[in-house]
Chains A and B, each alone.
Chain A
Amino acid sequence: MQIGSPAFKQNAHDALGDVQLQKALGNVRRGFIDKRKKATDRLPEFDALRDEAKRIKDHTLSHLDFYLEAYERKVTASGGRVHWAETAEDARNIVLDICQAARARSVTKGKSMITEEIALNDFLAENGIRPVETDLGEYIIQLRGEHPSHIIAPAVHLNKEQVEMDFRRVHDHLPVARDLSEPEALLNEARMVLRKEYVTADVGITGANFLVAETGSSIIVTNEGNGDLTQALPKVHVVVASIEKVVPTLEDASQILRVLARSATGQETSVYTTVSTGPRRKGDPDGPEEYHVILLDNGRSSMLGTEFQDMLRCIRCGACMNHCPVYHAVGGHAYGWVYPGPMGAVLTPSLIGVDKAGHLPNASTFCGRCEEVCPMRIPLPRMMRNWREREFERRLNPAAQRFGLRFWAFFARRPRLYKLGAGLVIPFLAALGGRKRRLGWLPLAGGWTRHREMPAPESRTFMQQWRDRETLKQDAGR
């Protein structure tokens, strides 16, 4: 996928003015937050499970080499094959080789952020293989030639009228009179179209929520059942997963599963939790004949042992973006790459480089809600701050911002000058605010005041007011 992160500022600006998008984003605010809260309140052990989940991942990451080797041994023993991919390009080529060996003409795909990360669909299409997304949300955005705007609700930026228009445009068998105004009708239409695709596809590609070292299994969770049809029907099942998905045992996966669904959609558990191990066995009447796993690094090993290692605990639940005021305001596409929201603001610079990720670490109000709700207790705000520091060190932020910071720092280090300056500016701004006590325009901050008014300050500085209060108190005490 092309990187649009450097344009975050412009993207965000456009998003704020997009009426359709703003309406759709209301569904994120309304939909996810209450449901998560209800589900976590219902489970008294939730916080203890979060601690345990964090411990499990920390342990696995500090023994990652051995767990990966153990995992590989078990996959091989169960008749599957492990492929190692250092980069996105390596992973794409491996998938293509497998597809070509199977003489594949079309592949079905379960929802997978990793295949978005390696931009698999375009690559397969360029090589004459038709990729078909089967998750309803993914299917819709594939029709639109878009990318997911949310890691678990890829089409959350759309309204049903837009989906209807796309279905009418692409499904040419649809009679004009057919009523598609309700989501039910749209779902049934997609169900019917995709049924045929499952049966004719030669290869099915899924991601993985977990890889289990003990058994060589991959685990996926879905609500639609599309991931299961994708892996049960074609001759070949390919799992694309990044190296940090491995956990030691089935027990460890179970612990983390309990916090995953609750944090993501507020469900007690997803409808389908599927543990897959190797190809079909002797006597099995169904299932794929080949089972491949592609282990992708793509920058993750360089996060190990750094201040960004904690990010590798992420289980892609989406809670951080569901609770993020910046995400609520601008949606996922503004972030310009695969991973939006707070987790994207940390992960994107790690994976594609801070120079290409542009303003992402600044897309935060530091309200701290993301860290509060993250089931894996990832210190997202701290890591965004780390990226900001690196950005500053590497002089990546714009000259005006650097000048502003240096200007402020100059005064902040000289308290007397600071007091004098503030004493002059504050009454001036207060006067400018007039009786409304609001400023519609500010020198040097036109961008900010174009969309909102700035409350005018009191006519005296904080320090002056504080001194007055203290004097009053002392007088009263006397």
Chain B
Amino acid sequence: MSGRDAILGRVRRALGADSDDAMRLQAVEKRLARPPKGVIPARGQGSAAEKLHLFCTEAEAVHATLVKVRGPEGVPAAVAAYLRAKNLPAELRMGSDRRLKAMPWQRQRSLTVRYGASDGDDLTGVSHAFAGIAETGSVVLHSGADNPTTVNFLPEHHIVVIEAKDIVGDLETALGRVRRKFGRGEMPRTVNMITGPSRSADIEQRLLLGAHGPRSLHLIVVEG
């Protein structure tokens, strides 16, 4: 007997399953098709302006830094300003996201942009978020050529562009959007929910930023 049959057999016997199998299966299918809503914290359920405000407060509380810009045209200048302020070389890594590519990077002279996945030699990576979650100040990104997952984790500094209109109140709504984009039960290889820069408290419970992932997370919120 295979391990699979042995394990499932034991589970069934332990549950005394045989008698009400049909009903149990129905309950499972129903839940998978129509997940119940659960308890959603009230704090993320305000107006769009309140959501934006909460998103910013929560993100900054976990040591992300944040600026707001008017329109996507403002992003390259904000990125260049961040690099200067941090004394970082004017070099970036990003994927092929069309929203990012459409931005006027050439106006920032001396800024070099490399495209594609990160190989670990990049100091700064730029990604475009799929969504933001107000209740925790998290950004949501998914794998693919547009925003390669390695850009989220390998560079020392991660800059994430997020449109204010993509900030939703809660985790369930954000994952619901992923589901709508890819189809029910279908997922991209990876969905990353990122809340602040990487950290560790493994030595004497002292909080240190920049463990294995980026040492800093900078959010550029695009309004209007």
Partner-B contacts on A (CB < 8 A)? 24, 27-28, 30-32, 43-45, 48-49, 52, 59, 62-70, 74, 78, 83-86, 90, 134-137, 140, 153-156, 158-160, 163, 183-184, 186-187, 191, 194-195, 198-199, 213-217, 223-226, 228-229, 232-233, 243, 248-252, 254-255, 257-258, 265, 267-281, 283-287, 295, 297, 301-302, 304-306
Which chain B positions have C-beta within 8 A of A267? 62
A32 to B95, CA, bound (A): 39
B33 to A: closest C-beta gap in Å: 9
Q: Which of B61-110 contact A (CB under 8 A)?
A: 61-62, 95
- Contacts A224-B199, A250-B175 given; indicate if A194 touches B212 (C-beta within 8 A): yes
- Contacts A62-B15, A243-B11 given; indicate if A224 touches B213 (C-beta within 8 A): yes
With beta carbons under 8 angstroms apart, the residue of A52, A272, A281 that contacts B38 is: A52
A70 to B136, CA, bound (A): 31
B189 touches A284 (CB 8 A): yes
Main secondary structure of the interface of B (DSSP, over half): loop
With beta carbons under 8 angstroms apart, the residue of A83, A156, A232, A286 that contacts B205 is: A156
A229 touches B27 (CB 8 A): no
B35 at the interface (CB under 8 A from A): yes
A275 to B208, CA, bound (A): 25
Q: Which of B117-156 contact A (CB under 8 A)?
A: 117, 120, 135-138, 143-145, 148-150, 152-154
Q: For the A-B complex with A215-B186, A269-B136 known, give 20 more contacts whose Cβ atoms are closer than 8 Å.
A: A45-B40, A85-B3, A137-B202, A191-B211, A225-B198, A228-B149, A232-B149, A248-B31, A268-B136, A268-B195, A270-B195, A271-B62, A271-B199, A272-B192, A272-B198, A273-B193, A276-B189, A276-B190, A278-B187, A285-B116
Which chain B positions have C-beta within 8 A of A250? 35, 172, 175, 179
B14 touches A304 (CB 8 A): yes
- Contacts A228-B153, A274-B193, A285-B95 given; indicate if A135 touches B202 (C-beta within 8 A): yes
Max chain A Cβ within 10 angstroms of own Cβ: one of B8, B12, B62: B8
A62 to B20, CA, bound (A): 11
With beta carbons under 8 angstroms apart, the residue of B27, B28, B42, B175 that contacts A251 is: B175
A272 touches B213 (CB 8 A): yes
A153 to B201, CA, bound (A): 8
B213 touches A229 (CB 8 A): yes
A31 touches B205 (CB 8 A): yes
Which chain A positions have C-beta within 8 A of B10? 297, 301-302
Which chain B positions have C-beta within 8 A of A194? 212
With beta carbons under 8 angstroms apart, the residue of A28, A65, A213 that contacts B15 is: A65
B204 touches A251 (CB 8 A): no
B92 to A: closest C-beta gap in Å: 16
Q: Which of B16-41 contact A (CB under 8 A)?
A: 16-17, 24-25, 27-28, 31-32, 35-41
Which chain A positions have C-beta within 8 A of B205? 27-28, 30-32, 153, 156
Which chain A positions have C-beta within 8 A of B7? 68, 84, 86, 243, 295, 297, 301
Which chain B positions have C-beta within 8 A of A156? 205
Q: Which of B168-224 contact A (CB under 8 A)?
A: 170-172, 175, 179, 184-206, 208, 210-214
A271 touches B201 (CB 8 A): no
A297 to B7, CA, bound (A): 7
A74 to B186, CA, bound (A): 9
A248 touches B212 (CB 8 A): no
A275 touches B213 (CB 8 A): no
B66 to A: closest C-beta gap in Å: 16
B199 touches A134 (CB 8 A): no
The 8 closest A-B pairs by CB, nearest first: A225-B213, A224-B211, A137-B202, A304-B14, A84-B3, A31-B205, A277-B187, A301-B10
A257 to B136, CA, bound (A): 12
Which chain B positions have C-beta within 8 A of A184? 208
With beta carbons under 8 angstroms apart, the residue of B8, B40, B143, B194 that contacts A284 is: B143
